[in-house]
């Protein structure tokens, strides 16, 4: 297997994007990614589109490739719930690492607002065990994570204030991110006063419905060194699946799939969690960020909320997390979230990120944690400038 580097990244504005269609939205990230890599559309031989189906296009990959004039590319579309574009990145990585192609592009794109909110709530609610959990008990996605939140708070003594602190931190960094959906800071008091969606999760504990795109271009080592002076290497991209039936799970204070994926990724990269300088984790709800920190190994079980309370997840702390605003405030366009994380982390490792949001890079490693469903899919990607 060949070494593979990120050589180009691009990002669209996240939010409600009624001003563009799917192809136009995707092109907002494809164009800057091509420019970043110094490539033209005809230079892309392999294209993987991550799209979860939240749009009117039956063949979204075709619409995106056509608008961007990527006519030389072998084309496919993948889906892995909220981890969709991490799955796309994994496919593109494998194509390059195996020697099939020297360059590949992964595009994550979603226009969720083309569907009405009740229908979106239903679709996401079906993302577990449909017959048992959705049809019989009516679980929504906030309801799933509320089960995790009640278990975590009860087992470890954390409070709703600790969940609120996660939201406050992520909104702080989204406020200075020009691509973010919610660009305003909030307070703990505002979070605690917001209405409950699924106890103990409130409105400000939940990520929004979002439109957006993010693109990553990969190249084999020899090609990468010709294209850029700042290649960002993929040291590991590992995934794992989990049971669709929550009743089969041993614990609700973590996601087993994410734990296994993290263990495999650190083994592949031959590093330990303390070498990670900055991370993006899947904070679809505030409780998810706490569980992610422990699943990855940034701290022990029941310790994440203490790090949050101490401010250790801010820039300057032990492990800066979601300093682009995360899913919570940057937005969560399901098909684009994974590649959006890679965009932010690539810019971080290059030292090119938003000045106020740039984390200190000491060891040269960054990590993306992307979960689909409630641990039905999980991907861990480790990047480096080594």
pLDDT digits (tens, 9 = 90+) for 196-238: 999 999 999 999 999 999 999 999 999 999 999 999 999 999 9
Q: Lowest mean pLDDT: which of 121-130, 131-140, 314-323, 370-379? A: 131-140
Residue 141: the pLDDT is 84
In a domain, 273, yes or no: no
Report whether pLDDT(88) > 70.
yes
Token pair of 18 as six digits: 């009624």
How many Å from the N-terminal Cα to the C-terminal Cα in the chain? Answer: 18
Helix axes 286-296, 256-269, angle to 10 degrees: 40
What range defines the domain where residue 100 resides?
Answer: 4-115+209-227
Q: What tens digit of pLDDT does each residue of 34-79 get?
A: 999 999 999 999 999 999 988 878 899 999 999 999 999 999 999 9
pLDDT at 285 over 90: yes
Q: How confident is the model at residue 332 (pLDDT cuts 50, 70, 90)?
A: very high
Share of the chain above pLDDT 70, in %: 96
Specify the pLDDT at position 356: 97
Residue 90, classed as helix, strand or coil, is helix
Please compute the mean of the pLDDT values over residues 132-148 and round it to a whole number: 78
- Please report the pLDDT score of residue 105 as a whole number: 99
Q: Is residue 199 part of a domain?
A: no
| 236 inside domain | no
Per-residue model confidence as pLDDT tens digits over 253-275: 999 999 999 999 999 999 999 99
Between 84-88, 114-118, 265-269, 302-306, the lowest mean confidence (pLDDT) is in 114-118
* pLDDT, position 363: 98
State mean pLDDT over 6-34. 98
For 332, half-sphere exposure in the C-beta direction (CA atoms, 13 angstrom radius) is 24
The tens digit of pLDDT for each residue in 93-137 reads 999 999 999 999 999 999 999 888 887 777 776 667 666 666 556
Note whether residue 240 is domain-resident.
Answer: no
Instruction: Report pLDDT for 140.
Output: 80
Question: Sheet harboring 103-111: ordered strands across?
Answer: 74-78, 46-50, 103-111, 211-220, 4-11, 232-241, 377-384, 365-372, 276-280
User: Alpha helices of 68-137 — where are they, by DSSP H?
Assistant: 84-97, 117-125, 135-137
Q: Does pLDDT of 28 surpass 70?
A: yes
Does residue 193 sit within a domain?
no
Q: How many domains does the chain have?
A: 1
Specify the pLDDT at position 130: 64
Q: Is residue 155 part of a domain?
A: no
The closest alpha carbon to 18, from 284, 209, 176, belongs to: 209
Specify burial of residue 192 (Cβ count, 10 A radius: 0-12, 13-18, 19+).
Answer: middle
Catalytic (active-site) positions: 82, 332
The residue among 215, 184, 194, 197 whose CA lies nearest residue 329 is 184
For residues 135-159, give the mean pLDDT: 88
Q: Are 174 and 323 in contact (CB under 8 A)?
A: no
CATH number at residue 88: 3.40.47.10
Percent pLDDT > 90 in the chain is 87
- Considering the domain boundaries, does residue 370 fall inside one? no
Q: Does residue 293 belong to any structural domain of this protein?
A: no
Average pLDDT of the chain, as a whole number:
95
Mean pLDDT of the region 177-189: 98
């Amino acid at each position: 297997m060949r070494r593979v580097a990120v050589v180009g990244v691009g990002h669209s504005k996240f939010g409600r994007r009624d001003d563009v269609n799917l192809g136009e939205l995707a092109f907002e990230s494809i164009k800057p990614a091509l420019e970043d890599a110094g490539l033209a559309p005809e230079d892309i031989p392999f294209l993987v589109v991550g799209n979860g189906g939240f749009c009117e296009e039956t063949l979204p990959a075709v619409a995106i490739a056509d608008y961007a004039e990527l006519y030389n590319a072998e084309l496919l579309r993948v889906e892995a719930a909220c981890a969709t574009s991490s799955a796309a990145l994994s496919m593109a990585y494998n194509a390059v690492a195996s020697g099939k192609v020297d360059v590949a592009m992964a595009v994550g794109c979603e226009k969720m607002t083309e569907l009405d909110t009740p229908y979106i709530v239903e679709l996401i609610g079906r993302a577990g065990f449909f017959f048992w959990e959705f049809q019989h008990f009516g679980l929504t996605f906030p309801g799933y994570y509320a089960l995790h939140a009640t278990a975590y708070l009860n087992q470890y003594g954390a409070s709703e204030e600790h969940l609120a602190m996660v939201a406050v931190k992520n909104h702080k960094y989204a406020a200075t991110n020009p691509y973010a959906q919610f660009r305003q800071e909030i307070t703990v008091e505002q979070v605690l006063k917001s209405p409950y969606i699924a106890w103990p999760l409130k409105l400000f504990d939940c990520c929004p419905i979002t439109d957006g795109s993010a693109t990553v271009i990969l190249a084999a080592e020899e090609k990468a060194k010709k294209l850029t002076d700042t290649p960002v290497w993929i040291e590991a991209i590992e995934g794992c699946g989990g049971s669709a039936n929550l009743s089969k799970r041993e614990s609700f204070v973590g996601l087993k799939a994410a734990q296994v994926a993290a263990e495999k990724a650190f083994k592949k990269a031959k590093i330990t969690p303390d070498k990670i300088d900055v991370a993006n984790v899947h904070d679809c709800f505030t409780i998810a960020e706490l569980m992610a920190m422990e699943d990855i190994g940034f701290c022990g079980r029941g310790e994440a909320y203490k790090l949050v309370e101490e401010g250790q997840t801010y820039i300057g702390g032990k492990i800066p997390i979601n300093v682009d605003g995360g899913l919570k405030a940057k937005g969560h366009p399901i098909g684009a979230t994974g590649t959006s994380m890679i965009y932010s982390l690539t810019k971080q490792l290059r030292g090119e990120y938003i000045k106020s949001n740039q984390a200190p890079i000491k060891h040269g490693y960054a990590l993306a944690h992307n979960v689909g469903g409630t641990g039905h899919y999980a991907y861990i990607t480790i990047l480096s400038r080594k």
